[in-house]
């Protein structure tokens, strides 16, 4: 033990004299190992760690797959009565729950905050065994059809909106005109399953009965909604496939019965999909997490190669000290232990920094990637992180010590002192140096190319023209705070007055009734009357000012008129993509389209296509994404409670200002949401922006590390050749000769690196072809060229930079000491 302490004290004293070396090792290994710990913990959390719910292995979601007449999947979403039918059947599941998501405004609260609401049957929190901070969970008294107006708050909502009030259980909140008694507050430790969307954070939980589905939707088997979910504990001994077999006929038969009088659904059926809650939450995140881990491992390998170079240089520097130690009786093992003490100390310091960086990384991920990766709030330093940290510390400490000691020719070291320092007991062989250069180039090429490809893909989506204006346009959605909903006739004059007042605001340039395209479309089943062909395009209600405001060009026919809206004329505007689906030549003006009602709609105009990020074509046979998505527009009613406001450049309107304005017109109305279209567009591109930023940072880091690494090893090589360079200069070599010589000498290693990168790519393709295949196209060629050029430039720089100190000085500088 005493020897151990002494060795580490000596190592510390020795390292203290080399703060630059220590700092470089610390920063390089600390940052990259921090990223590694982050990626390992994330992958463990997503791929291995069980969900934090009891009996989570029996926790499954059931989903409704709408199968078309040609056996194609039309959509994956429940119909309201279909879901209730499944819930009430109690088949396959021991315990099951329904839930529906929505947004609402707490009218009774002074700041009238917009909150995320979830409407659940009592079993939901019972299955999850949700921990409580206060009160109770929903129970039988809140079961379906009991209409008991009670609510549960999330811990954060209790803290943020109600200041953690101790008497919260005696309070009531009002949403959409209904007063709910607060019966419970969920614990801080409750982890909500992200079934609706990644990053789902429900503020207020209410009984299922109060969900936001309209009366028509509650009855209709023809309306599907992505907001409706079913989750339950599978009966013991029932497998997911058995559950699927049991549930499919049960649900499908009821659905077919329910849509029997709708021709549109003729030949369609329902297939149930039963998958684990974990799988449903994970979605596509598995590949993101694995790719992140692969990228970080690449970074660690590059960093490891860099630090290996530094350790080799350090060993060379310690030659004399080691020679003295050897002369007074130190064996090779003694030297190894001394070196191990140094590498252990360095790796220990690096791992401490890495843990700090990992914790910071978790925080950053929780702040910025909450909408991209699920379960991110569960990330924390855990036994896996610490276990990985310990393993990494031991492995790297041993590796660097072993590598350094391998450089020592112990026999030659013994003669070093005898020959007055001439000759060398240590040297990294040319072959080792060439292998290091080749591996650096190979890794850097693979990582830079992979990052560039992802960056280019993300930038392509970010920069893709959307085909409509979002600048200065915001969507205002009103909230009606009473259960006594006005009729269409009653709301028309109210909305007209609201519009008048909004238009009179000095900040407002123009106004349109309806929502911006970026706020979303619904999906509607349509039939072409001429040939009875069925379609499911995106649909939106628009007023007569809509296309002008968003600058979406009308390329054929007419726009809607105010009269169309007043008289509720059955007219329709379609986009080019839908026009081409209806008729190959796109000439569809006058065509009759049935929306299921008695009178078909007549196509009066064709508008240019727009591209909304994330929109996929409803026609499963089409590959088009964004542009090429079929869309139809119909005149909206005059009583609609949504408006697009185009503000004058540089002007803003606050939510409070709008709230006051609405209160002046009718106190039952308040602001539900008021969002800038450009903000929503940015949000919808969040995943791409995150990818772009991450890959750009990774690519820069790779360049930096590769540059440092190549510089390190080439610098070491150049240093070894100092006298040779001096001799060449003495016999007449110019600087150009020497630069070319160094480049030529390293060309073989660089080429080997490029070949190595092709091998790595091929191996990655064999192992990960499903992820890589979508990226393979001729468009990769410029990326390959750019990557190769950049890597060559970095390598040329690394060749020249260490050389400059010799070739830019008189030859004698290099020769000094050669004798």
Residue 728 contacts other proteins per CB under 8 A? yes
Q: Cα 62 to chain center, whole Å?
A: 25
Question: How is residue 677 written in tokens?
Answer: 């279209």
Among residues 723, 754, 761, 771, the one that binds other proteins under rule CB under 8 A = 723
Q: To the nearest whole angstrom, how small is the minimum distance from the Cβ of residue 432 to other proteins?
A: 16
Q: Which stretch, 404-412, 658-666, 732-740, 751-759, contacts other proteins (CB under 8 A)?
A: 732-740
Question: How is residue 53 written in tokens?
Answer: 């719910």
Q: Which stretch, 287-295, 306-314, 538-546, 721-729, contacts other proteins (CB under 8 A)?
A: 721-729
Cβ atoms of 263 and 527 within 8 Å: the answer is yes
Q: To the nearest whole angstrom, how small is the minimum distance from the Cβ of residue 727 to other proteins?
A: 4
Cβ atoms of 35 and 296 within 8 Å: the answer is yes
Residue 730 contacts other proteins per CB under 8 A? yes
Residue of 20, 674, 666, 643 whose CA lies nearest to 314: 20
Residue 655 contacts other proteins per CB under 8 A? no
Residue 727 contacts other proteins per CB under 8 A? yes
Cβ atoms of 688 and 462 within 8 Å: the answer is yes
Question: How is residue 65 written in tokens?
Answer: 């797959």
Residue 818 contacts other proteins per CB under 8 A? yes
Q: How far apart are CA 220 and CA 73, in angstroms?
A: 20
Tally of helices (H runs) and strands (E runs) in the chain? 25, 26
Q: To the nearest whole angstrom, how small is the minimum distance from the Cβ of residue 434 to other proteins?
A: 13
Residue of 240, 237, 223, 249 whose CA lies nearest to 81: 223
By beta-carbon proximity to other proteins, the closer residue of 290 and 733 is 733
Q: To the nearest whole angstrom, how small is the minimum distance from the Cβ of residue 813 to other proteins?
A: 8
Residue 209 contacts other proteins per CB under 8 A? no
By beta-carbon proximity to other proteins, the closer residue of 464 and 720 is 720
Q: Which stretch, 134-142, 157-165, 209-217, 719-727, contacts other proteins (CB under 8 A)?
A: 719-727
Residues 6 or more apart in contact with residue 619 via CB below 8 angstroms: 535, 536, 581, 630
Residue 134: beta bridge partners?
Answer: 185
Instruction: Count other Cβ atoms within 10 Å, centred on residue 593.
Output: 24
Distances (CA, A) of 146 to 94, 102, 485: 22, 20, 22
Q: To the nearest whole angstrom, how small is the minimum distance from the Cβ of residue 687 to other proteins?
A: 54
By beta-carbon proximity to other proteins, the closer residue of 402 and 816 is 816
Question: Dihedral sign, CA of 729, 735, 736, 738?
Answer: positive
Residue 815 contacts other proteins per CB under 8 A? yes
By beta-carbon proximity to other proteins, the closer residue of 124 and 800 is 800
Q: How far apart are CA 623 and CA 628, in angstroms?
A: 9
By beta-carbon proximity to other proteins, the closer residue of 434 and 575 is 434
Question: How is residue 211 written in tokens?
Answer: 């969900």
Residue 720 contacts other proteins per CB under 8 A? no
Residue 737 contacts other proteins per CB under 8 A? yes
Cβ-in-10-Å burial (0-12, 13-18, 19+) of 688 comes to buried
Q: Which stretch, 239-247, 328-336, 579-587, 802-810, contacts other proteins (CB under 8 A)?
A: 802-810
Residue 331 contacts other proteins per CB under 8 A? no
Q: Which stretch, 337-345, 563-571, 769-777, 801-809, contacts other proteins (CB under 8 A)?
A: 801-809
Residue 214 contacts other proteins per CB under 8 A? no
Question: How is residue 371 written in tokens?
Answer: 């909408």
Read off the DSSP letter of residue 47. Answer: I
Q: To the nearest whole angstrom, how small is the minimum distance from the Cβ of residue 27 to other proteins?
A: 31
Phi and psi, residue 372, nearest 5° = -110, -40
Q: To the nearest whole angstrom, how small is the minimum distance from the Cβ of residue 405 to other proteins?
A: 25
Residue 811 contacts other proteins per CB under 8 A? yes
Cβ atoms of 340 and 23 within 8 Å: the answer is no
Cβ atoms of 331 and 408 within 8 Å: the answer is no
Q: Cα 138 to chain center, whole Å?
A: 33
Residue 810 contacts other proteins per CB under 8 A? yes
Cβ atoms of 675 and 643 within 8 Å: the answer is no
Q: To the nearest whole angstrom, how small is the minimum distance from the Cβ of residue 738 to other proteins?
A: 9
Residue of 220, 218, 19, 203 whose CA lies nearest to 118: 203
By beta-carbon proximity to other proteins, the closer residue of 739 and 792 is 739
Question: Dihedral sign, CA of 741, 742, 747, 752?
Answer: positive
Q: How far apart are CA 544 and CA 64, in angstroms?
A: 37
By beta-carbon proximity to other proteins, the closer residue of 17 and 736 is 736
Q: Which stretch, 128-136, 277-285, 397-405, 811-819, contacts other proteins (CB under 8 A)?
A: 811-819
Residue 812 contacts other proteins per CB under 8 A? yes
Q: Which stretch, 511-519, 619-627, 724-732, 773-781, contacts other proteins (CB under 8 A)?
A: 724-732
Q: To the nearest whole angstrom, how small is the minimum distance from the Cβ of residue 724 to other proteins?
A: 5
By beta-carbon proximity to other proteins, the closer residue of 356 and 744 is 744
Q: To the nearest whole angstrom, how small is the minimum distance from the Cβ of residue 748 to other proteins?
A: 13
Length of the chain in residues, anyone?
A: 819
By beta-carbon proximity to other proteins, the closer residue of 511 and 811 is 811
H or E stretch at 437: helix 430-463
By beta-carbon proximity to other proteins, the closer residue of 278 and 728 is 728
Q: Which stretch, 190-198, 720-728, 749-757, 787-795, contacts other proteins (CB under 8 A)?
A: 720-728
By beta-carbon proximity to other proteins, the closer residue of 85 and 728 is 728
Residue 184: beta bridge partners?
Answer: 135, 152
Q: Work out the angle between the directed axes of helices 383-406 and 285-317 (0-180°, nearest 10).
A: 30
Question: How is residue 415 written in tokens?
Answer: 């003669």
Helix boundaries (H) for 520-560: 546-550
Residue 761 contacts other proteins per CB under 8 A? no
Residue 431 contacts other proteins per CB under 8 A? no
Residue 734 contacts other proteins per CB under 8 A? yes
By beta-carbon proximity to other proteins, the closer residue of 367 and 808 is 808
Contacts with other proteins: how many residues (CB under 8 A)? 23
Among residues 517, 726, 753, 802, the one that binds other proteins under rule CB under 8 A = 726
Instruction: Count other Cβ atoms within 10 Å, centred on residue 430.
Output: 13
Residue 254 contacts other proteins per CB under 8 A? no
Residue 732 contacts other proteins per CB under 8 A? yes
| Dihedral of the alpha carbons of 207, 208, 213, 218, in degrees to the nearest 10 | -140
Q: Cα 137 to chain center, whole Å?
A: 33
By beta-carbon proximity to other proteins, the closer residue of 344 and 434 is 434
Residue 736 contacts other proteins per CB under 8 A? yes
Residue 233 contacts other proteins per CB under 8 A? no
Read off the DSSP letter of residue 68. Answer: -
Among residues 242, 735, 780, 801, the one that binds other proteins under rule CB under 8 A = 735
Q: Which stretch, 221-229, 401-409, 660-668, 718-726, contacts other proteins (CB under 8 A)?
A: 718-726
Residue 731 contacts other proteins per CB under 8 A? yes
Question: Dihedral sign, CA of 398, 403, 406, 412?
Answer: negative
Residue 808 contacts other proteins per CB under 8 A? yes
Q: To the nearest whole angstrom, how small is the minimum distance from the Cβ of residue 320 to other proteins?
A: 20
Residue 819 contacts other proteins per CB under 8 A? yes
Q: Which stretch, 162-170, 525-533, 672-680, 725-733, contacts other proteins (CB under 8 A)?
A: 725-733
Residue 724 contacts other proteins per CB under 8 A? yes
Residues 6 or more apart in contact with residue 672 via CB below 8 angstroms: 103, 104, 105, 114, 477, 478, 479
Question: How is residue 81 written in tokens?
Answer: 């009565």
Which residues lie near other proteins (CB under 8 A)?
723-724, 726-737, 807-812, 815, 818-819
């Amino acid at each position: 033990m005493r020897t151990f302490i002494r060795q580490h004290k000596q190592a510390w004293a020795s390292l203290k004299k080399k703060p630059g070396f220590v700092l470089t090792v610390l920063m390089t290994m600390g940052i990259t190992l921090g990223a590694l710990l982050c990626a390992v913990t994330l992958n463990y959390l997503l791929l291995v760690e069980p969900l934090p719910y009891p009996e989570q292995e029996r926790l499954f979601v059931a989903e409704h797959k709408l199968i078309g007449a040609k056996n194609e999947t039309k959509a994956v979403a429940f119909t309201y009565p279909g879901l209730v039918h499944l819930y009430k059947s109690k088949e396959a599941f021991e315990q099951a729950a329904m839930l529906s998501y929505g947004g609402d405004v707490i009218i009774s609260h002074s700041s009238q905050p917009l909150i995320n609401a979830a409407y659940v049957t009592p079993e939901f929190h019972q299955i999850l065994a949700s921990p409580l901070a206060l009160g109770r969970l929903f129970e039988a008294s809140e079961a379906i059809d009991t209409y008991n107006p009670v609510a549960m708050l999330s811990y954060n909502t209790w803290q943020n909106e109600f200041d953690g009030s101790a008497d919260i259980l005696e309070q009531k909140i009002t949403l959409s005109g209904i007063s709910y008694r607060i019966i419970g507050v969920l614990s801080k430790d409750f982890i909500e399953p992200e079934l609706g969307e990644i990053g789902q954070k429900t503020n207020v939980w209410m009984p299922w009965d109060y969900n936001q589905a309209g009366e028509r939707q509650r009855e209709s088997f023809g309306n599907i909604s992505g907001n409706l979910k079913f989750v339950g504990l599978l009966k013991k001994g029932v497998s997911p496939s058995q559950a699927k077999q049991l549930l499919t006929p049960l649900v499908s038969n009821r659905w077919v019965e329910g849509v029997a009088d709708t021709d549109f659904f003729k030949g369609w059926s329902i297939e149930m999909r039963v998958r684990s809650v974990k799988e449903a939450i994970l979605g596509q995140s598995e590949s993101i997490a694995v790719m992140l881990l692969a990228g970080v491992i690449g970074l660690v390998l590059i960093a490891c190669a860099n630090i290996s170079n530094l350790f080799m240089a350090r060993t060379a520097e310690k030659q004399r000290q080691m020679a003295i130690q050897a002369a007074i009786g130190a064996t090779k093992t003694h030297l190894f232990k001394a070196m191990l003490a140094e590498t252990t100390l360095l790796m220990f310091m690096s791992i401490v920094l890495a843990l700090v960086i990992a914790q910071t990384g978790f925080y950053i991920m929780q702040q910025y990637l909450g909408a991209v990766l699920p379960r991110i709030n569960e990330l924390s330093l855990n036994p896996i992180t610490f276990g990985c940290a310990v393993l990494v510390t031991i492995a790297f400490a041993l590796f660097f010590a072993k590598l350094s000691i391998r450089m020592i020719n112990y026999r030659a070291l013994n003669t070093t002192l005898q020959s007055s320092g001439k000759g060398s007991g240590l040297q990294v062989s040319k072959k080792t140096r060439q292998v290091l250069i080749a591996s650096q180039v190979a890794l850097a090429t693979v990582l830079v190319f992979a990052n560039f490809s992802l960056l280019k893909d993300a930038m392509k989506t970010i920069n893709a023209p959307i085909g409509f204006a979002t600048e200065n346009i915001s969507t205002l959605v009103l909230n009606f705070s009473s259960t006594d909903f006005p009729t269409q006739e009653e709301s028309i004059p109210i909305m007209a007055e609201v519009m008048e007042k909004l238009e009179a605001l000095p900040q407002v340039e123009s106004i349109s009734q309806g929502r911006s395209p970026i706020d979303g479309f619904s999906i509607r089943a349509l039939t072409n009357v001429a040939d009875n062909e069925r379609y499911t395009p995106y649909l939106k209600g628009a007023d007569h000012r809509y296309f002008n405001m968003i600058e979406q060009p009308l390329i054929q026919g007419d726009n809607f008129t105010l009269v169309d809206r007043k008289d509720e004329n059955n007219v329709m505007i379609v986009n080019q993509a839908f026009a081409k689906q209806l008729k190959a030549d796109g000439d569809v003006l006058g065509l009759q389209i049935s929306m299921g009602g008695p009178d078909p709609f007549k196509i009066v105009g064709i508008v240019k296509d727009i591209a909304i990020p994330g929109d996929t074509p409803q026609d499963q046979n089409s590959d088009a994404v964004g542009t090429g998505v079929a869309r139809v527009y119909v005149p909206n009613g005059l009583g609609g409670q949504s408006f697009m406001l185009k503000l004058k450049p540089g002007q803003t309107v606050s939510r409070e200002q709008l709230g006051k304005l609405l209160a002046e017109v009718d106190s039952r109305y308040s602001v539900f949401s008021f969002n800038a279209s450009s903000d929503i567009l940015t949000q919808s591109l969040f995943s791409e922006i995150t990818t772009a930023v991450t890959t750009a940072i990774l690519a820069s880091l790779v360049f930096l590390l590769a540059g440092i690494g190549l510089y390190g090893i080439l610098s070491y090589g150049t240093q070894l050749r100092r006298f040779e360079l001096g001799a060449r200069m003495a016999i007449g070599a110019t600087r150009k000769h020497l630069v070319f010589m160094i480049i030529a000498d390293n060309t073989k290693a660089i080429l080997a690196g490029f070949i190595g990168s092709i091998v790595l790519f091929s191996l990655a393709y064999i192992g990960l072809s499903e992820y890589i295949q979508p990226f393979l196209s001729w468009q990769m060629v410029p990326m390959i060229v750019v990557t190769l050029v950049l890597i060559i430039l970095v390598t040329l720089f690394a060749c020249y930079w260490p050389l400059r100190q010799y070739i830019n000085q008189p030859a004698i500088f290099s020769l000094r000491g050669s004798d």
